[in-house]
Copies of this chain bind each other. A is one copy, B any other.
Amino acid sequence: MSLNIPTTRVPRVVIIGGGFAGLELANKLNGQNFQVVILDKNNYHQFQPLLYQVATAGLEPSSIAFPFRKLFQKQDNFHFRMVEVKEIYPEKKRLLTDKGELFFDYLVIASGAGNNFFGNANIEKYAYPMKSISEALALRNIIFQRFENALTSETIKEKDANLNIVIVGGGPTGVEVAGALSEMRNKILPKDYPEMDFKTMRIILIQGDKRLLSSMSEESSSKSDFYLKSMNVEIFYNSKVTNYDGEHVYFNESETIPTKTLIWAAGIIGNRIAGLETSCYGQGGRILVDQFNACIGHSQIFAIGDIALMKADEKFPNGHPQVAQTAIQQGKKLAKNITNIQKNEQLLPFKYKDLGSMATIGRNKAVVELTGWKFQGFFAWLVWIVVHLRSILGVKNRFVVLLNWIWNYFTYNLSLRLIIKSKDTKND
């Protein structure tokens, strides 16, 4: 089998993964003297910051998914292949995919991070993560399926287990999904299900740390806590989920909550690809890189984004935060450095520039931290909207997302509460 990528005179840069990091790198290499090959198991880039809105029926999946082929329609000597990378052979400068082998001059691993269930097989089996559009859609389907099942439940216990939703993890994803679910419960569900009393529905956020959004300031943490509690989200701090059997969450030794829907937003781990020595990996399944994002011991293999662990940036001795900004900045810098290698020019060390962070909890409720400036509430929420709208790819998508948001703001009543069951593809 072969990937059928034509050989050209210019060096071939193979990028594994078209997330924020890989996409930025590919864009910046455009017009330079390279053949660029992007490999991804999906045919689209996903805008992860808004996955929680797909899961909570606030946005269509297509609004935050962008087909790579459309993004790169106008780039020369660019090739996309929808494949899964199976193994890297660093010595041979080749890699193996499910559709054949491929030679590279430069390899950039931007495979991102997946869900970390910390080895708990039960949680992995029963909990719903939301790190991808497929996962967010599965979560949307199951949330609404549970409400339907609650209506035909025979016991109060069964009804409660169908209604209650437990979210594990108090980072931005956990906070945002808890807020969105709470707004849905308070405003939308009583209209959709007039027969049902949603006052008994519990939305519970379990956080391992002593505060929410622990990468932000204590001010933002306490404001998020205030917002969520005002929306009737129950929060458990310093709490550790020990087990989940699909019916009950067990945490803090002796506590249990009945729920059929556990949302897992508690941790991530690097998406590992076979072939690199164990010594290449650091904590969190991340690939150790030098200040130029080169994998230790491999001058033509790089790692960027969530999968990369750089300890050389003195302000971040334990690695950079695994967020979009790090990915984008590393992709941009690596494009420059690969070009410099070709020109025999000096490489530039990566320095992370913290542009701030933000999270939205509900309408008119957000926390924003820019360098030296913290604010919350309505204005923060507007800033959050503008920043996210600007980041979405595609004019039409931006427009549709904005339309959905405006519509939802005034009506609390989008018509996306669909349970679209999947059909398996055939003879494939």
Give bound CA distance, A216 to B142, whole Å: 43
Q: Is A141 an interface residue (CB 8 A)?
A: yes
Which B residue's beta carbon lies closest to that of A141?
A: B425
Q: Which of A113-121, A190-198, A233-241, A376-384 contacts B (4 or more CB under 8 A)?
A: A190-198
A260 neighbours in B (Cβ, 8 Å)? 427
Instruction: Verify B67–A425 contact, CB threshold 8 A.
Output: no
A427 neighbours in B (Cβ, 8 Å)? 125-126, 246, 260
Q: Is A323 an interface residue (CB 8 A)?
A: no
How far is the CB of A244 from the nearest CB of chain B, in Å?
10
Q: Which of A147-155, A204-212, A349-357 contacts B (4 or more CB under 8 A)?
A: A147-155
Question: Interface residues, chain A, CB within 8 Å of chain B?
Answer: 1-4, 6, 42-44, 60-62, 65-67, 69-70, 73, 79, 81-83, 99-100, 125-126, 128, 133-135, 137-138, 141-142, 144-145, 148, 151-154, 191-195, 246, 260, 394, 396-397, 399-400, 403, 407, 413-428
Instruction: Verify B125–A426 contact, CB threshold 8 A.
Output: yes
Q: For A44, A70, A415, which residue has the most chain B Cβ atoms within 10 angstroms?
A: A415
Instruction: Verify B403–A399 contact, CB threshold 8 A.
Output: yes
Instruction: Verify A4–B138 contact, CB threshold 8 A.
Output: no
Which B residue's beta carbon lies closest to that of A426?
A: B126
Give bound CA distance, A62 to B422, whole Å: 14
Instruction: Verify A152–B81 contact, CB threshold 8 A.
Output: yes
Instruction: Verify B70–A420 contact, CB threshold 8 A.
Output: no
A425 neighbours in B (Cβ, 8 Å)? 138, 141-142, 145
Instruction: Verify A1–B415 contact, CB threshold 8 A.
Output: no
A426 neighbours in B (Cβ, 8 Å)? 125-126, 128, 142, 246
A135 neighbours in B (Cβ, 8 Å)? 423
How far is the CB of A132 from the nearest CB of chain B, in Å?
8
A396 with B423: in contact, given A60-B62, A428-B145 (CB under 8 Å)?
no
Q: Can you offer 6 A-B residue contacts whose CB atoms are under 8 A? A: A43-B144, A44-B420, A81-B151, A99-B152, A126-B427, A260-B427
Instruction: Verify B79–A413 contact, CB threshold 8 A.
Output: no
Could you list 8 further interchain pairs (A-B, Cβ under 8 angstroms) beyond the known A42-B419, A126-B427, A134-B420?
Answer: A1-B154, A65-B415, A65-B418, A70-B413, A79-B195, A125-B427, A396-B415, A422-B422
**Nearest 5 Cβ contacts at the A-B interface:** A422-B422, A246-B427, A138-B423, A69-B192, A99-B152
How far is the CB of A40 from the nearest CB of chain B, in Å?
11
Which B residue's beta carbon lies closest to that of A65?
A: B418
How far is the CB of A134 from the nearest CB of chain B, in Å?
5
Instruction: Verify A394–B422 contact, CB threshold 8 A.
Output: no
How far is the CB of A166 from the nearest CB of chain B, in Å?
14
How far is the CB of A320 from the nearest CB of chain B, in Å?
30
A423 neighbours in B (Cβ, 8 Å)? 134-135, 137-138, 422
Give bound CA distance, A134 to B399, whole Å: 26
How far is the CB of A287 from the nearest CB of chain B, in Å?
26
Give bound CA distance, A326 to B367, whole Å: 54
How far is the CB of A249 from the nearest CB of chain B, in Å?
13
Instruction: Verify B396–A69 contact, CB threshold 8 A.
Output: no
A83 neighbours in B (Cβ, 8 Å)? 152
- Name the one of B65, B400, B415 contacting A420, with C-beta atoms under 8 angstroms: B65
